[in-house]
Structure 1
Amino acid sequence: MTTKKIDQQYSTGWIMLLALFTALGPLSIDMYLPAFLQMAHDFNVSPQMVSNSLPAYFLGLALGQLIYGPLSDRIGRKTPLYFGMAVFALASLLCAFATDVWFLIGARLLQALGGCVGVVIARAAIRDRLDVQGSAQAFSSMMIVMGIAPVMAPIFGAWVLYFFDWQAVFILLMLIGIFCLVCVHFFFTETLPVERRLKLSIRQVGLLYQTILKDKSFRLPMLAGCLTGGALFCYISSASAVFMGVFAMDQQHFAYAFAFNAVGIMFLSSINKRISQRVGIKQRLQMGGLIQFTGAVIVLLCAFATSASLWVVMFGLFMAVAGIGFTGPNAMALAMSQQGARAGTASALMGSVQFSSGLLGGLMLNFMPWNALLNMGILMVLFTLLGLTAIFTIARQQ
């Protein structure tokens, strides 16, 4: 299939709309990271306690997607978007009024239960309309656009904190949620016609999840994408402690350092799209896995060094994070390629497992006894090594 034919399957505006919905996740995760120290002071708890709101958010993302996936396969893609965006906006307002860390954690859980609808519907909508090669390009295009979110989110958060208190960050997220709700109403067109919808009971949903998990064409790419993506969540959970704790950065410099690594995802996503006609999808998946693993090893070696160099650590993190520009879209396209009308359920299952990896990584960080840099390096190597194993298993298959 030629590039021209693939490009005709979707418009740039459609991809930007789906990217906006998907970007709620990274915006909600990254925008308040520079505020951890300020929030810890206001709540009279440690920064690590505030950081537990990240695993709570990952839990909400994991649970919510399991609901929205089969629901969207049954009633269509648009109605769940209405509900999820409304819940996200309300929960963001509740976060702004949090009076203690436990209230914040509960509100963040609710915020994730609403915001996760975007990523489920975006994946399913792409699968509704495109074939596997077109999906790979569409996911790459979406990651390029969506990559703006983790780049700009901590910078926006840092600048908001420069003028206002941390509560303003969540007010801004509420306004973004309302804007997304308006976009759903006026610009999103239903992609799953009534005749293709699945009539699913609760029992049938459970059986459908089991059927999808038994499908090797889904299971292995899912594991590859989720495990390599787990390295990103380890980075997100540890970034404040590493940059602001180990390397003593202030809020603004932390935001720029965090954004620099996020730029790598956009860069490699762009390359992935450009070479898609010349390099096979499995080869690109392998390239991404090797880049991520190499970067994670560099970070781990720096953690063992007597005096860790910030620039070497940044280089390793750049590779470990940027490699997702190859692993993410290609693993997603392979996993979704055979799912047909159950794409919403399959998308939800993949997203749930992915954010469960983030939840697991965040919880493990609470119990690891070493310094923040070493803890992050160990977990990133573990996740990328497991992901690379899944990738090479895929490559051996015909």
Structure 2
Amino acid sequence: MTTTAERTATSRRAQLKLVLILGGLSAFGPLSIDMYLPALPRMAADLHAADTTVQLTLSAFIAGLALGQLVLGPLSDALGRRRPLLVGLVLYVVGSVLCAVSPDAWLLVAARGVQSLGAAAGIVIARATVRDLFSGTAMTKFFSTLMLVSGLAPILAPLIGGQLLNWTSWRGVFVVLTAFGALLLAVVAFFFPEPSSNRSPARLGQVMRTYGRLALDRTFAGYALASGLLFASMFAYISGSSFALQGVYGLSPQAYSVVFGVNGVGIVLAGRLNGWLVGRIHERALLFSGLLLGVFGGVSTLVTALTRAPLALLLVALFLLVSSIGLVMPNTSSLALASHARSAGAASALLGVLQFVVGAAATPLVGLGGPGTAVPMAATMAGFALLALAAFLVLARPAQVVVSV
């Protein structure tokens, strides 16, 4: 006879396995973006290409992430999660191999597009699978737990990429990404559950109607925009902080890597705190608190940049804004998906697309003031954080905030 302790241990092992699988799938995007960034100058030199051409490899990847999620999200609603995910992982592995062997920059851009479709499958289907398996507080707790795994990706990826370049070329970075994709493909093939039997048609007209219904759902739009706009603030930090902290404040590349990593730890810690508070405080209250923290961090960043305050104050402000992601993302994901069980793939796709599209729109704003100032980056961060809070307050329907004791 199985004891209660044995059943509990089995349940914990199963949940840990699920966290690692879905966390690995969620980390696809950050790993595939951040790990190869230190290699961009070498890639341009080796391929005899202009810097702007090589930077298109990043643009192609982000565009593929958006397009891939729009297609694969509703496809997984119709066909189940496993088959589109397996196809996506195969595409990721093939694309990574093509990246590693690309003889010129334009083939590398095309290969990154193929690779991004597979990464999109991991991101969108991981989020939809959580909605399949959980609901309510349990879903928010699981999203918070995922932050502990996926939140490590932006911390470790640049460090891993930089270290790989000490003993291999930029092609070696894509070899490592190929191995990561192949490992996840094997794990998904053997261990990934098919969580739901509820299926929606994959006809184009039905898919477009589903997207239209989601876009007109005021509550969903409020949560999705809050998530996407705060993510845009994070994008502004990612794209501008290296120039601001090194060029304006004089940090060395090594010191900047430490700052980047510490801020990443802030996301993980905030996600852990969110998981502990869920069930004690309503998700909407936690989301509101996270958005307020983001606004406070963004406005503080802008004030420190305008006044050229000491670096320590700027670092604290950046830490607060970046950490707010750990409170906002689990709650927006859970609240936005809560009422869309049958179309979780499509809803997950819209959430992801808004994050990357709005984030990409924020990136060019960072460089408007030239290389000698951090004000454009800080203003972009503060502006998008304020817009995220406004989207939540204006669009997301109010609900009673419940505090349990």
Asked if Structure 1 and Structure 2 have the same fold, meaning a TM-score greater than 0.5 normalized by the shorter chain, the answer is yes
Structure-2 separation of matches of 1:103 and 1:313: 41
8 A Cα contact 1:74 1:197, kept in partner: yes
Q: Does 1:296 align with 2:301?
A: no
Deviations 1:7-47 (A, max 9, x none): 98971221221111111111112112223343344456676
| Residue equivalent to 2:212 | 210
Distance 1:221 1:365, change over 3 A: same
Counterparts in 2 of 1:100 and 1:244: CA distance versus 1, 3 Å:
farther
What is residue 360 of structure 2 aligned with on the other side?
359
Are residues 183 and 8 of structure 1, via their aligned partners in 2, closer, same or farther at CA, if it must alter by over 3 Å? closer
The superposition leaves residues 131-183 of structure 1 with CA deviations (integer Å, 9 ceiling, x where unpaired) of 12111101000111211211111111111112222221111111101111111
Separation in 1, partners of 2:135, 2:14: 11
Residue of structure 1 equivalent to 2:110: 106
The whole-number CA distance in structure 2 between the counterparts of 1:98 and 1:380 is 36
How far did residue 128 of structure 1 move?
0.9
Question: Does the CA-based 8 Å contact 1:22-1:119 persist in structure 2?
Answer: yes
Whole-angstrom CA distance in 1 between matches of 2:321 and 2:53: 26
Question: Per the alignment, do residues 159 and 191 of structure 1 end up closer, same or farther by CA in structure 2, a change over 3 Å counting?
Answer: same
Separation in structure 1 between the aligned mates of residue 49 and residue 312 of structure 2, nearest angstrom: 31
Query: Is residue 2:393 matched to residue 1:392?
Result: yes
1:89 aligned onto 2:93? yes
Deviation at 1:71, TM superposition (A): 0.3
| Residue in structure 1 matched with residue 318 of structure 2 by the alignment | 317
The alpha-carbon deviation at position 363 of structure 1 amounts to: 4.0
State the alpha-carbon separation in 2 of the partners of residues 222 and 229 from structure 1. Answer: 10
- Aligned residues of 1:155 and 1:252 also touching (Cα < 8 A): no
Larger Rg: 2
Decide whether aligned partners of structure 1 residues 44 and 287 sit closer, same or farther in structure 2, where only a CA change above 3 A counts.
Answer: farther
Cα separation, partners in 2 of 1:8 and 1:35, compared to 1, 3 Å:
closer
Query: Is the CA contact (8 Å cut-off) linking 1:34 and 1:240 kept in structure 2?
Result: no
CA displacement 1:257-313 (0-9 Å, x = unmatched): 22211111100000001111221111111111111122222322333244x644333
Q: 2:135 aligns with which of 131, 135, 147?
A: 131
In structure 2, distance between residues paired with 1:396 and 1:199: 29
Match of 1:17, as an amino acid? I
For 2:108 and 2:254, the matched residues in 1 are separated by 23
Counterpart Cα distance in 2 of 1:257 and 1:46 = 30
Match of 1:256 in 2: 258
Farther off after superposition, 139-148 or 106-115: 106-115
2:4: which partner in 1?
Answer: none
After TM superposition, the structure 1 stretch with the greater mean CA deviation from structure 2, 292-301 or 142-151, is 292-301
Amino acid at match of 1:199: P
Aligned residue number for residue 191 of structure 1: 195
Question: For the Cα contact (< 8 Å) 1:154–1:259, is it kept in 2?
Answer: no
CA gap 1:363/1:52 in 2 versus in 1, 3 angstroms: farther
Corresponding letter in the other structure for 1:384: A
The 4+ residue runs of structure 1 with deviation greater than 6 A are: 7-10
Q: Closer, same or farther in 2 for the Cα pair 1:180/1:250, shift >3 Å?
A: farther
Cα deviations by residue, 1:212-251 (Å, 9 ceiling, x for unpaired): 1111231111111111111112222224433454455555
2:240 alignment partner, one of 224, 238, 241: 238
- Residue type of the partner of 2:113? L
> C-alpha distance in 2, partners of 1:386/1:303?
20
The CA deviation at 1:100 is: 4.8
State the alpha-carbon separation in 2 of the partners of residues 249 and 168 from structure 1. Answer: 28
Structure 2 counterpart of 1:277, which letter?
Answer: G
The whole-number CA distance in structure 2 between the counterparts of 1:19 and 1:230 is 22
* Equivalent position of 1:378 in the other structure: 379
Aligned partner of residue 219 in structure 1, secondary structure: helix
Match of 1:119 among 123, 127, 138: 123
| Amino acid across the alignment from 2:99 | C
After TM superposition, list the pairs within 5 Å mapping 1:214-233 onto structure 2. 214-233=216-235
- The reply on whether 1:336 has 2:337 as its aligned counterpart is yes
Query: In the alignment, what sits opposite 2:269?
Result: 267
Indicate conservation of the 8 Å contact 1:299/1:317, yes or no: yes
Alignment CA distance shift 1:394-1:275 (3 Å): farther
What's the TM-score, normalizing by structure 2? 0.88
Which residue, 26, 39, 43 being the options, matches 1:39? 43
Following TM superposition, by how much is the alpha carbon of 1:127 offset from its aligned partner in structure 2, in angstroms?
0.8
Distance 1:172 1:9 in 2: 27
Deviations 1:184-237 (A, max 9, x none): 1011011122xx111231111111100111112311111111111111122222
Residue 293 of structure 2 corresponds to residue 284 of structure 1: no
Query: Is the Cα contact below 8 Å between 2:274 and 2:286 reproduced in 1?
Result: yes
Partners of 1:137 and 1:233 lie apart in 2 by 25
Cα distance in 2 for partners of 1:39, 1:320 equals 32
